[in-house]
Chain A
Amino acid sequence: MNGFAELFAEYDILGAFWMNIRLTFFAAIGSFVLGIILAVFRISPVGSLQRVGAGYVNILRNTPLTIIMVLGVLAVWGQLKITFSDDFPLNFFTYAVIALSIYHAAFVCEAIRSGVNTVPLGQAEAARAIGLSFLPAARLVILPQALRGAVTPLGNTLIALTKNTTVAAAASVAESSGLMKTMIEFRPDLMIQIFLTIAIGFCLIVIPMGLLTTWLSDKLAVAR
């Protein structure tokens, strides 16, 4: 037990986890906004928009997140010199949030689309029957029900996003997996304690999220 106390005294473990949570928060907003736009593209009547949405999803879903992160930092920042802030940590944080958002937007889009599939045909027909055109029908009838039906896949995407914030280590953001590396390098004698600390930390974040998702999807399920 002493080992754990030493670790918490010596290193800012909570701060590192806080970084993961901040990354999750901003990337969740980013990927949700982008994902919902893509989902509307994919269900829209316009062929070219459908293709843009499908192309985005198919490309991003099949690319490793690590490569997106490294491309951002080594190529876009390193070679194209696109800088978001003169403050290095903030700059890399922004890059990490953008990479996470771009990657997870593809999964958010697919989650919402699977939610749209749970909306019965009659709902869309009824919306048209009362004279709603595509966008009002999507906004007022289809998407509210689709989002409720998509709670489980969206929750899973959020959980995946939370765990994937560790990849921000590739953009040298000071988060928990990076701290874990540093800690083991300096205190190899406490290797097991360090691993357990970080692993249990993630369990404490991720498992309640899973339970919350299940609870919410039951609560919000559209009774049909």
Chain B
Amino acid sequence: MKAQPSVLFDAPGPKARRNIMISNLVTLAAVLVLVVLVLMKLNEQNQLEPNLWLRAIDGNAWANYYLPGLQFTLQASGIAVVTSLAFGLLFGFLRLAPFGPIRWFAGVVVEFFRAVPVLVMMVFLYFFFARVVAGNGAMSPQDAPYYAVIVGLTLYNGAVIAELVRSGVKSLPKGQREAAAAIGMTSNQSLRLVEVPQALTAMLPSLLSQFVVIIKDSALGYLIGFYELLQYSRQLGSGHGNMLQSLIVAALVFIVINFILTWVATRLSRRLSSRTSGETAPAAPATTGAVKTA
């Protein structure tokens, strides 16, 4: 990342350049000291053994732990993306309905699922699926964590997406609606043909950053016994005594995937800005459980 010109300071003169260089050196030294301290601590507990690290990145680790785990993480997240999109569109439309009680009902549902922590949702769904649904033979108990993760992610992220749809439509310039009315569209047609399509285009980058939230939150499945990337890495770690190393590799896998998605979202928002009169900047990126009150 290049140092960008900022509004906060002038182009540096000779003295400021010297100060900046000194600060750079101090920062570099501080980072180096930190790295050395961490390495010393690792060494003290014999965590720098090459074997521990090798066994966290060798073929066995990938083939039997990371990749199967990643498959479940991505599978659950992928399904949750589709279902939460469906849930979000449905409730987004309901929140824009002309009939008051429908709007209020949808509002209460959306606010409820946005306020309840995803983990609380998942824990409840897990027990509900494992005891009630599986008790009726509708689901095998081993599948309970998997479905609990998907449904939990769907309810929360669907509610967030419903809010995105609603605020996306609300934030379109008034002229869009007026122009639709001027050429004789009813308010329903205007919503369906003019406003929602533009809101959806404007939402795409935010949807992608919501995908990042979903992938990150799928790791909560670890707490209800879902076999995803984190769970597999923990198993690898406890099997080979290299917990630290395998968890770091798992974290890196998450970071790389999410980094790519965030990058695509930013690119997309730049490309799409010409196709809609809405705001395409991705929403405050990927806070787990961000609630937009604006």
Contact surface of A with B, Cβ cutoff 8 Å:
43, 45-52, 54, 58-59, 61-68, 70-71, 74-76, 78-82, 107, 110-111, 114, 116, 121, 124-125, 128, 134, 137-138, 142, 152-153, 155-157, 159-160, 163-164, 166-167, 169-170, 176-177, 180-181, 184-185, 188, 191, 194-195, 198-199, 202-203, 206-207, 210-211, 213-214, 217
A170 / chain B contacts, CB cutoff of 8 Å: 222-223
Say yes or no: is B7 at the interface (Cβ < 8 Å to chain A).
yes
CB-based nearest B residue for A128: B10
B212 touches A66 (CB 8 A): no
Query: Contacts A48-B24, A214-B293: A66 and B220 contacting too (C-beta < 8 A)?
Result: yes
Structural contact, B115 and A191, CB atoms closer than 8 A: no
List the A side residues contacting B234 at CB < 8 Å. 70, 74
Residues of B229-252 at the interface with A, using a CB-CB cut-off of 8 Å, are: 230, 234, 237, 243-244, 247-248, 250-251
With A80-B244, A134-B9, A202-B120 known, 17 other A-B pairs at CB within 8 A are A52-B31, A54-B1, A58-B262, A64-B217, A68-B251, A79-B243, A107-B284, A156-B287, A156-B291, A159-B289, A166-B119, A177-B123, A194-B124, A195-B124, A203-B116, A207-B115, A210-B293
Instruction: For A152, list chain B residues within 8 Å (CB).
Output: 293-294
Q: B residues 197-224 with Cβ under 8 Å of A?
A: 212, 215-220, 222-223
Q: Please tell me the size bucket of the interface on B.
A: 35 or more
A47 touches B243 (CB 8 A): no
Residues in chain B near residue A46, CB distance under 8 A: 20, 23-24, 27
Q: Is B171 interfacial (CB-CB < 8 Å)? A: no
Decide: A61 near B290, CB < 8 A? Known: A45-B6, A45-B9: no
Instruction: Mark B residues whose CB is within 8 Å of A.
Output: 1, 3, 6-10, 12, 16, 20, 23-24, 27-28, 31, 41-42, 45, 47, 111-112, 115-121, 123-124, 127-128, 131-132, 212, 215-220, 222-223, 230, 234, 237, 243-244, 247-248, 250-251, 254-255, 258-259, 262, 284-294
Q: Count how many pairs of residues, one from A and one from B, have CB atoms less than 8 Å apart in the complex.
A: 213
A66-B219 in contact given A114-B284, A138-B8, A152-B294 (Cβ < 8 Å): yes
Question: In the complex, which of the residues B20, B131, B243 contacts A75, with contact meaning CB atoms closer than 8 Å?
Answer: B243
Inter-subunit contact A45/B247 (CB<8 Å): no
A27 to B245 Cα, complex, angstroms: 26
A155 CA to B12 CA, complexed, in Å: 35
CB distance from A69 to the nearest CB of B (A): 9
The docked-state distance in angstroms from the alpha carbon of A99 to that of B220 is 15
Q: How far is the CA of A152 from the CA of B259 in the complex (A)?
A: 25
Residues in B with CB closer than 8 Å to A217 are 294
